[in-house]
Amino acid sequence: MVSWNASYHFIAVGGMGMSALAKILAEKGATVSGCDVQEQFMTKKDLQEHNVRVLVGQNASHLNGVDYAVFSSAIKPNNIEFQAAMEMHVPLLHRSEILSDLMDDKLSISVTGTHGKSSTTGFIAQGLDLIGFEPTFIGGAVVNALGGNAKLGNGPVVGEVDESDGSLLRIPSSIKVILNLDDDHLSFYGSMENLASTMQQYINGQPHSSIALLNYNDSLLKNMDPRSRKLYWYGYGAPDFCIDSIKLQGVHPIIDLKYNQQTFTILNNKIFGEHNGWNLGMAFSAMVMAGADPKRAADALQNVETPRRRQQILGTLGKTEIMVDIALHPTEFRALREVFEKNNMNVLLVFQPHRYSRYKLLFSDFVEELSKWPHVVITEIYPSDEPHEDISSYGMYEDVVTQEKYFIPDKEELFQFLPKILSNFDVVLFAGLGNIGNWAEDFFSINK
């Protein structure tokens, strides 16, 4: 059993994954501090309310008296605090090691895959919470119904597990949910075959009694070797949890699926799109695997909500809805576009590409997908944790062929431009994983 009676310092605590772990450790009784280069960030208030000491900037003095320093893959060895921890002989823990200990504490459900992790993790945790399982939630996004991006409970642990850097191999889980595998993070893996191999290793990982719940319609997952672990399947035609249909009622999904020779229907009027109907079905399957009564699970999932910045409507300006979403891959844009098209909605897409590596790897796929959106604004690339490169998204803007397109590189110019054309659209969608979400909230606040 892990003892949490120690002091932990999180190097760059502001991100969703790091802040969730810091919050849970503090709730367990540990002494927790963390720093961030930004003075204000979305998770700061929540951290402070849970007794996490938040420091600004990077400084070796932040490591004084600390038992452990926690870092993510975004932190490089030349980071000031990383180096200080080495020099001061403070043990350095990758965030996955903390998550591993939390997931190994009791019955646990991990959720990984290229698309839909945060939403599906949130659906599972909310569903279990609504039927009295009192889960611990460790998410990659803020879920209002769960009080933020993390919540300590007495029941099973439900955690989002990042596949981007291979660190998921450190993490044991009772039920391993793998949603899909797509061509993202190939700057790390090099090929889809390597990504699939890592997922096979994850399935075969600890504990030996673990089971996996996989997407029956994903060709790479369909080829996973079942000899080491028990595999269960969800999807169209799946032998365990079989989707009969996913339809839309307006923009809201209705899913019918069969389990154990019974049909269960989930209609959720709080969430958006067929893709989230699919995620609801996977959440249902995971809940049942964790011991939930199927009827109660289906009923509970009719009342869950998507996390913050997942097809989130901030409000209406005139007749135009302002929506924000973290879509960063062409597959995710296609899922959104199909919902808008089925409902004949006139949408302006404001897209901020995320990371130079993803921009280069998926350039042609982005151009193909964005050309199917009639009205597109492309901003400059958000580099995230990658070093600056002399690359501009203007090249993508030039190659996109559509009815109306604009290249507007920065926030100031965008805010001057948007009010001039806002009334032409049913929805303005701010999309991306960089600071575009903050831009959306600022734009709505300024103009409401």
Domain spans of the chain? 7-95, 104-301, 312-447
Per residue in 181-210, pLDDT (tens digit) is 886 666 677 787 888 899 999 999 999 999
pLDDT at 37: 83
pLDDT at 109: 98
For the chain, the 3-state helix, strand and coil shares in percent, each to the nearest 5, are 35, 25, 40
Cβ atoms of residues 206 and 172 within 8 Å: yes
Helices 274-289 and 330-342: crossing angle, nearest 10°?
110
pLDDT at 163: 82
Domain 7-95 has CATH 3.30.460.80: no
pTM confidence score? 0.85
Topology of the domain covering 312-447: Protein-Tyrosine Phosphatase; Chain A (3.90.190)
User: Per the CATH hierarchy, to which homologous superfamily does domain 104-301 belong?
Assistant: Mur-like, catalytic domain (3.40.1190.10)
List the chain residues with pLDDT less than 50.
1
How high is the mean pLDDT of the chain?
Answer: 93
pLDDT at 106: 84
pLDDT at 131: 98
Q: Which two three-digit tokens encode residue 11?
A: 């190097």
Q: Which of 201, 199, 164, 160 has the alpha carbon at shortest distance from 184?
A: 164
pLDDT at 354: 94
Per residue in 269-316, pLDDT (tens digit) is 888 889 999 999 999 999 999 999 999 999 999 999 988 888 888 989
pLDDT at 30: 95
Element (DSSP H or E) covering residue 15: none
Distance CA 298, CA 292 (A): 10
Q: How far apart, in Å, are the Cα atoms of 204 and each of 108, 169, 210, 319, 340?
A: 16, 9, 8, 52, 40
pLDDT at 122: 96
Strands annotated E in 116-223: 136-143, 148-151, 157-160, 175-178, 211-215
pLDDT at 185: 62
pLDDT at 386: 85
User: Within 13 Å, how many C-alpha atoms sit on residue 30's CB side?
Assistant: 24
Distance CA 282, CA 265 (A): 13
